[in-house]
Amino acid sequence: MDHARHLPKRPLGLTLVASLVLSAAIFIALLVMNQPLKTASAPQGMISFQLAGTAQQAQAIIASWKPEGVSTARASLWVDFAFIAAYLAMLLQLTRRFSQDRPGVRERIIAKWVRTLFIVAGTSDVIENIALLNNFNPPDNSLSIAASIFSLLKFTGLLLGLAGLIIIRAARRQPLTPAS
What is the model's pTM? 0.85
Q: What is the pLDDT of residue 79?
A: 98
Mean pLDDT of the chain: 89
Please provide the DSSP assignment of 102-121 as one string: --SHHHHHHHHHHHHHHHHH
As a whole number, mean pLDDT of residues 143-152 equals 97
- 96 vs 128, higher pLDDT: 128
As a whole number, mean pLDDT of residues 14-36 equals 95
Distance separating alpha carbons of residues 133 and 126, to the nearest angstrom: 11
Q: What is the pLDDT of residue 178?
A: 58
Please provide the DSSP assignment of the chain as one string: ---GGGSPP-PPPHHHHHHHHHHHHHHHHHHHHHGGG--SS-TTTHHHHHT--SHHHHHHHHHHHHHHHHHHHHHHHHHHHHHHHHHHHHHHHHHHHHHTT--SHHHHHHHHHHHHHHHHHHHHHHHHHHHHHTSSSS--HHHHHHHHHHHHHHHHHHHHHHHHHHHHHHS-SS-SS---
pLDDT band at 103 (very low <50, low <70, confident <90, very high): low
* pLDDT, tens digit, 9 for 90 and up, residues 29-52: 999 999 999 999 999 999 999 999
Q: What is the pLDDT of residue 76?
A: 97
Distance separating alpha carbons of residues 180 and 178, to the nearest angstrom: 6
Q: Please list, residue by residue across 140-175, b when 16 or more beta carbons sit within 10 angstroms of its beta carbon and e when fewer do.
A: beebbebbbbbbebbbebbebbbebbebbeebeeee
- Is 105 exposed, middle or buried (CB count within 10 Å of its CB: 0-12, 13-18, 19+)? exposed
